[in-house]
A and B are shown apart, each in its own frame.
Chain A
Amino acid sequence: DAGITQSPRYKITETGRQVTLMCHQTWSHSYMFWYRQDLGHGLRLIYYSAAADITDKGEVPDGYVVSRSKTENFPLTLESATRSQTSVYFCASSGGVLTGAPPGYTFGSGTRLTVV
């Protein structure tokens, strides 16, 4: 199916464990993003990527690691999960200015992560 998919949809993990959230898009979009969404804070950018092997920090990168070995995949890893990382995580993608696509990001359905 075409689109952007995130897995898992729901995850419960224990404090201190490593957990990886997956994101896959089928459009060959150059740009991919990870956001977390929390009540009172809205969407906050964690990391973004302009292309395979090019990543950069966003507003709240501490405690997270990303990689992008292939254009279509952009996994987000919590190296040692903390309760403050309990949140809903959204992956998004964009083709950039030159593609002629609508001027916004396309979001996945999200991963609801609970750290206990």
Chain B
Amino acid sequence: QKEVEQDPGPLSVPEGAIVSLNCTYSNSAFQYFMWYRQYSRKGPELLMYTYSSGNKEDGRFTAQVDKSSKYISLFIRDSQPSDSATYLCAMRTYSGAGSYQLTFGKGTKLSVIP
């Protein structure tokens, strides 16, 4: 079993829809939970991050973490064609001596159709 599982999609939704992207994980040592967005032919960029269980909101985006179920989600409200990208979840463990390690999901490709 991979430490982080993410449905690769692809996911296609109409403009204005609510999008739900999810990851599950098995390592209880994960501390920070992140979502990266990657546009075509670009590098991943950090979109949101959370530390504890609960919700964190940033505009149309909400990141949700449920540590008891080892499950994280990213919700996109009022989705726009500009949200079309691959979304990768990432989780962080402390490696000692001030360093940390990220474990990535494989990414979900999202297309928002006008």
Contact = CB atoms under 8 A, between A and B. Distances in A.
Q: What class of interface size applies to chain B in its complex with A?
A: 20 to 34
A42 B45 contact: no
Interface of B: 8, 32, 34, 36, 41-46, 49, 51, 88, 90, 92, 94, 97-100, 102, 104-107
Contact of A42 (B32, B49, B107): B107
B102 to A, nearest CB: 6
Interface in A71-94: 90, 92, 94
A110 B100 contact: no
Given A104-B46, A109-B43, A110-B41, 5 more contacts: A41-B106, A42-B88, A42-B107, A94-B100, A97-B99
Contacts of B102: 104-105
B107 A102 contact: no
A90 B92 contact: no
A61 interface: no
A104 B42 contact: no
A111 B45 CA distance: 16
11 contacts: A30-B98, A30-B99, A40-B106, A41-B106, A43-B88, A96-B98, A103-B32, A104-B34, A104-B49, A104-B92, A110-B43
By secondary structure, the B interface counts as strand
Interface residues of A, number: 23
B104 A90 contact: no
Given A43-B88, A97-B94, A103 B100 contact: yes
Contact of B100 (A41, A97, A106): A97
A89 to B, nearest CB: 10
